[in-house]
Structures are given as C-alpha cells and as structure tokens.
C-alpha cells in the first residue's frame, strides 16, 4: 500500500518536473502550472500556457490552438499586466481562487471569484477552448465557478457568448489587441448594445463604425438572407440573457472571429487542414454602405447606385452646394406629426439605428401603425419578427440613421410621410443596378490593354471607365518595385505604396490583395465610384492597372491626407468619417 502511494507520488513529481510534457487537461487545488508547462485539452485542440507575443519579451498566460504551425492565441489572462521580471506561476489557491503570481509572489492576475469556495475545485481546459474552474465533483455539469469564455479577449470562438448575463450584469465583449506585441485592450470593440431593440455594434473608442441591425427572428437585419454552409448562429434575448453565439456545423472544424488590431474590421477565419493555414472567410464591414451612418440622417445607402447616398423619398439633402452626405437629409416639407400622416413602405431595408427604438413582441403590424401615428415622435415602424406572416412591433423615434438598401435580404420599413407626400404615390426610389460582371470588366480591361499595346503609350484613355489604365511596369518603376521603403501602410484590401511617376507626379498605389474575386469586385466598385465622383476634397484617383495577378489603384499622393483615406476607403466618404 505504502509502496504504491510512494510510487504514485514519485510519478506525479516526475510529471511536474518534466517541462512542457504536462499532458493533462486539469490541475487541482494542490497543483500549479509554471512557465514552460502547459495544459492540453482532452482531444488536443487547445493548449494553456505562458507565451510572449510577437517580438515582446513579456510573459502572458494564454490559450492557443495546439498543433498549429503558427501560434494562434485566442485568450489572454493577464492582458494588461504582463510578467516581465520572473517566471509566472498559476495556482488554484486554498480558497478556490485562480491566481497568477510572479516570482516575488505578487498577484499579477486573478479570476476574482466573488465568494470563497470550500469544496475542492478543479481547473480544466476544455476542447472548446474554454478554461473552467469547477467543483471537483461537477465533471459533467456546465455550471462553472468561473470560465474564460466569460472574459473574452479579441477572439470569439464557437460556443462563446457575445453579450450580457442580465441577472449578474456581466458583459462579454471583444476588444482588439493593441498591437501584435501587446495583447492589452486596443481601440476596436465589438459588443451587444443593451437597449430595447438590441443589436451588435462595432466601435473605435466610443464611436460606432458598423452595426448589425436589430435581430428579426431569423438573423440581423443587415445580413443577406442566405443559408450558411459552415456555421449556425443565433441571438438570444430574454429576461435573463442577451447574446450572440455561433457554432460549427462540422464540430471538428476550427473557426474564429477576431477584431483586427489596426483596421476597422472584424474578420472570420476558417482553418484549412489541407494548407495548414487560416483562410479569411469574411470581413465586416463588407462594403462602403456598411460604414455607420455614411449617408447621414434620413439618407439611404445603395451600394450599386450612383451616388451611393441618396435621400429617402420626401427628403432633400441638408447641405448647400456640393452634397455633403454627413449632413444627411431633411424633409421636403415639414411634417406636423398628426393622425393625417401616413406611411410609405420601403422594402429590402437594413433597419435604422435602434438606439431610439421601442419594441413590443405582442403587437401586430396594424396596432404598431396606430401606435406610431399616435406618437408625435414616431418616424417609422415595422414587424420586430419577420418569421411566418410577421409579428411584433418595432418603432423608431427621431431621425433615421444608417439605413441601406439590399438587393437580397433586408426587410420592410414603414416611414412616416405627410398626406401630401403620400398623394404623390408609390416610392420612386431610383435604384439603378449597375451590375458589371467580372467578365464585362475583364472585356473592358482586355480592350484597354489592346489599345495600350497598339498605341505603345503608357497611359491610354479608357472610354468605358473614363480612367487611365497604367502599365504594371510604370507603377513598379514608380514604387521602386513595390519596395518596403515605399510602403505607406497596410489596408483591408492590401498594402499601399508611395511612388513617383517619371513626370514627377507623386502617387499612392493601393495594391489589392490576391484574393482575386474580392479584389476585382472592390476594384470595380472603386473605379466606378471615383470616376463619377471626382471632387476637389477627395483623394483623386488617377488610374488603375490590372495585369496578371496584379490589381492596382493609383491615386494622387497627398501628404496631408490621412492614411485611412488610401487604406480603408473604398470611396471618398471615409475621409470625413475616419479621417
């Protein structure tokens, strides 16, 4: 018996001493995890341990995917408090708390359990990537004393909840890292807005830059209606909880949503087993019209139309001279908000910012209309749930902000109009759908290329796009062959270089990334937009280049314009919004 116990203890000790082979998924109250040791989840998906991000020497406790060629960290414990002097130690202490200390025993981070736990506890790394603290006997249950999923870093994993536990007031939000070397919270935030008509909002600091639109029973109002082959998602909104979550259809597949550190982007990645790399699956914002309040109050964004910003029927631009869309639109004739008013139904809309909105799940559309008419600040209404015949009532008060039109998806919105406006009849929303297929664009490009060849000139006028086509050699020459010294920065669609043409003209060159399909679409949109919207305040688009794999946009270089206007901007308006 004693011999057995002795060898057991020896065995345990050896286990402890052999660095990095701590192939267990749990530690208990009597154990600790020091720098060099790791916990590995049962199926080997995730690993918990100490790491140094990027080129930093600081040590952090974190969770990453096991067995990936590049370490992808999904959670960091001591984000704001790195260990920099000595090896750290993670302990489950006597009162059941999870405590991270540096060598001098000072507490670097702790799980801050609200109450002392007397029963023996276990810390376990689950295959979902969740690090949980639970009672030793609560193996199967999903009630935890503490879990890392409640304190997200910059990554949302399948099964995590983005949003609120309304009973405890706990909020789970995603915040970008400051930089690749520093996991402390950066400026970019993704969170659930806790309001009558909740939605998901992305912010830089306190400033919104994208919103999901309210949940309509099936999905968020801003998501096109199409089945998703890769993951399921849901939004829970009841008295106890308010959150967004997703999970993978193929449980063995890896996917993560990350807030980018430097760009106005939330990105979803999927792990490709074949190439052993993360593939970018989607970017949000997806396009220009996803930009929060791009068209100002009562303006509507129509991605395939020109201009992309327009006023709702019955409204006119609220600015003199050149249309400044940030000023939005005002009513043609003021509305006296009486019961004589009526509503015009707009279809396929992204519903407006729901900060000043009110919801009733029990009212029907008629009751909703009546209530809106009676309320002297109600501007619009619609069903809050579009499933089946539609049900519930959502009303908006004051100006309508951040509306867009979708070709596929969106929903109905009934906007209040004066009797005289209604007399004019059905809405005549000018929706010119400029669908230029990739093939058509290529035809233009090939034709242009042919002209270049024929005339043996560097620049030719391309009648269709009304913009000069540059030869790759010209741009390569101007940017010192895209040298790193000429690089101004990296944007959502690729790097931006500074250059100089032979005639001395300074240029900024946006080199679209080789995700060819996306690149070509962006290029098309941008070329069309810019060629129609030349204006002295805008960064001037001089031309473009498509040759082989390369897709380039060439702008006039303006030293005092913000980098964002070259980088993020698809269109001109970002100058005002992000500048």
Q: Tell me how far, at minimum, the Cβ of 576 lies from ligand NAG, in Å.
A: 23
If DSSP codes are grouped into helix, strand and coil, which group holds residue 326? helix
Our CB check for ligand NAG shows the closer of 155 and 462 to be 155
In the list 7, 276, 338, 505, the residue contacting ligand NAG (rule: CB under 6 A) is 338
Our CB check for ligand NAG shows the closer of 513 and 531 to be 513
Q: Tell me how far, at minimum, the Cβ of 295 lies from ligand NAG, in Å.
A: 25
Kindly write out the interface string for residues 367-406 of this chain, putting x where it contacts ligand NAG by CB under 6 A and - elsewhere.
--------xxx-----------------------------
In this structure, is the dihedral angle defined by the CA atoms of residues 280, 282, 288 and 291, taken in order, positive or negative?
negative
Q: Tell me how far, at minimum, the Cβ of 124 lies from ligand NAG, in Å.
A: 18
In the list 68, 73, 107, 472, the residue contacting ligand NAG (rule: CB under 6 A) is 107
From 402, 571, 579, select the one nearest 493 (Cα to Cα): 571
Q: Tell me how far, at minimum, the Cβ of 352 lies from ligand NAG, in Å.
A: 16
Q: Tell me how far, at minimum, the Cβ of 155 lies from ligand NAG, in Å.
A: 10
Q: Which positions from 480 through 509 interact with ligand NAG, judged by CB under 6 A?
A: 490, 492
In the list 95, 232, 461, 483, the residue contacting ligand NAG (rule: CB under 6 A) is 95
Kindly write down the DSSP assignment for every residue of 448-460, as one continuous string: HHHHHHHHT-S-E
Q: Which long-range contacts (CB under 8 A, 24 or more apart) does 453-461 make?
A: 459/543
Kindly write down the DSSP assignment for every residue of 475-492, as one continuous string: HHHHTTTT-GGGEEEEET
From 464, 489, 475, select the one nearest 547 (Cα to Cα): 475
- Beta strands (DSSP E) in 87-218 are 89-92, 98-101, 107-110, 121-125, 131-135, 146-147, 155-156, 162-165, 170-172, 174-179, 182-193, 199-204, 207-211
* Piece of 6-14, 109-117, 326-334, 536-544 that binds ligand NAG (CB under 6 A): 109-117
The residue to which tokens 């090939």 are assigned: 446
Our CB check for ligand NAG shows the closer of 326 and 360 to be 360
Task: Quote the DSSP letter at residue 431.
Answer: -
Q: Does 30 bind ligand NAG (CB under 6 A)?
A: no
| Distance, CA of 86 to chain centre | 37
In the list 9, 419, 443, 463, the residue contacting ligand NAG (rule: CB under 6 A) is 419
From 521, 571, 518, 538, select the one nearest 301 (Cα to Cα): 571
In the list 24, 34, 72, 261, the residue contacting ligand NAG (rule: CB under 6 A) is 261
In the list 27, 37, 39, 99, the residue contacting ligand NAG (rule: CB under 6 A) is 99
- Do the beta carbons of residue 553 and residue 541 sit within 8 Å? yes
* Piece of 38-46, 160-168, 332-340, 565-573 that binds ligand NAG (CB under 6 A): 332-340
* Piece of 182-190, 202-210, 253-261, 503-511 that binds ligand NAG (CB under 6 A): 253-261
Q: Tell me how far, at minimum, the Cβ of 116 lies from ligand NAG, in Å.
A: 8
* Piece of 68-76, 104-112, 167-175, 381-389 that binds ligand NAG (CB under 6 A): 104-112
- Do the beta carbons of residue 543 and residue 470 sit within 8 Å? yes
CA separation for the pair 524, 434 (Å, rounded): 11
Q: Does 258 bind ligand NAG (CB under 6 A)?
A: yes
- Do the beta carbons of residue 321 and residue 410 sit within 8 Å? no
Q: Where on the chain is the footprint of ligand NAG (CB under 6 A)?
A: 93-95, 97, 99, 107, 109-110, 112, 258, 260-261, 263, 265, 336, 338, 340, 358, 375-377, 418-419, 490, 492
């Amino acid at each position: 018996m004693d011999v057995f116990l002795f060898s057991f203890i020896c065995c345990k000790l050896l286990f402890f001493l052999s660095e990095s082979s701590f192939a267990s998924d749990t530690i208990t109250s009597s154990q600790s995890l020091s720098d060099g040791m790791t916990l590995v989840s049962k199926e080997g998906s995730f690993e918990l341990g100490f790491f140094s991000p990027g080129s930093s020497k600081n040590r952090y406790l974190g969770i990453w995917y096991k067995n990936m060629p590049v370490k992808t960290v999904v959670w960091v414990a001591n984000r704001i408090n790195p260990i920099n002097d000595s090896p750290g130690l993670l302990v489950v202490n006597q009162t059941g708390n999870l405590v991270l200390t540096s060598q001098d025993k000072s507490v670097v981070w702790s799980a801050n359990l609200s109450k002392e736990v007397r029963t023996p506890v276990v810390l376990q790394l689950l295959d979902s990537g969740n690090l949980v603290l639970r009672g030793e006997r609560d193996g199967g249950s999903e009630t935890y004393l503490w879990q890392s999923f409640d304190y997200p870093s910059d990554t949302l994993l399948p099964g995590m909840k983005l949003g609120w536990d309304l009973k405890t007031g706990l909020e789970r939000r995603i915040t970008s890292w400051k930089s690749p070397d520093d996991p402390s919270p950066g400026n970019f935030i993704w969170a659930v807005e806790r309001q009558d008509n909740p939605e998901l909002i992305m912010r830089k600091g306190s400033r919104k830059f994208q919103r999901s639109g309210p949940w309509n029973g099936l999905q968020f109002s801003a998501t096109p209606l199409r089945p998703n082959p890769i993951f399921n998602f849901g939004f829970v909104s009841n008295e106890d909880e308010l959150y967004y979550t997703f999970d993978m259809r193929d449980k063995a597949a890896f996917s993560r949503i990350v807030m980018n550190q430097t760009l106005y982007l939330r990105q979803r990645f999927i792990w490709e087993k074949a190439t052993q790399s993360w593939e970018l699956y989607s970017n949000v914002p997806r396009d220009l019209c996803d930009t929060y309040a791009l068209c100002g109050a009562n303006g509507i964004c129509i991605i395939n139309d020109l201009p992309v910003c327009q006023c709702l029927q019955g409204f006119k631009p609220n600015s003199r001279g050149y249309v400044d869309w940030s000023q939005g639109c005002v009513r043609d004739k003021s509305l006296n908000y009486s019961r004589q008013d009526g509503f015009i139904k707009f279809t396929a809309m992204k519903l407006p910012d729901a900060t000043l909105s009110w919801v009733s799940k029990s009212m029907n559309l008629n009751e909703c209309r009546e209530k809106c008419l009676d309320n002297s600040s109600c501007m619009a209404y619609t069903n809050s749930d579009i499933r089946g015949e539609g049900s519930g009532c959502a009303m908006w008060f004051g100006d309508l902000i951040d509306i867009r039109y979708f070709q596929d998806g969106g929903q109905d919105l009934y906007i209040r109009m004066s009797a005289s406006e209604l007399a004019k009849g059905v809405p005549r929303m000018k929706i010119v759908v400029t669908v230029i297929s990739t093939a058509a664009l290529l035809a233009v490009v090939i034709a242009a290329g042919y002209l270049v060849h024929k005339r043996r000139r560097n620049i030719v006028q391309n009648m269709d796009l009304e913009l000069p086509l540059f030869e790759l050699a010209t741009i390569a020459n101007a940017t010192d062959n895209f040298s790193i010294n000429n690089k101004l920065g990296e944007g959502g669609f690729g790097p931006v270089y500074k250059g100089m043409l032979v005639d001395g003209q300074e240029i900024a060159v946006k080199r679209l990334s080789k995700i060819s399909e996306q690149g070509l679409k962006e290029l098309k949109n941008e070329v069309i937009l810019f060629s129609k919207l030349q204006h002295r305040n805008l960064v001037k688009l001089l031309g473009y280049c498509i040759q082989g794999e390369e897709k380039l946009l060439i702008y006039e270089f303006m030293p005092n314009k913000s980098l964002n206007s070259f980088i993020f901007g698809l269109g001109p308006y970002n100058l005002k919004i992000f500048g």
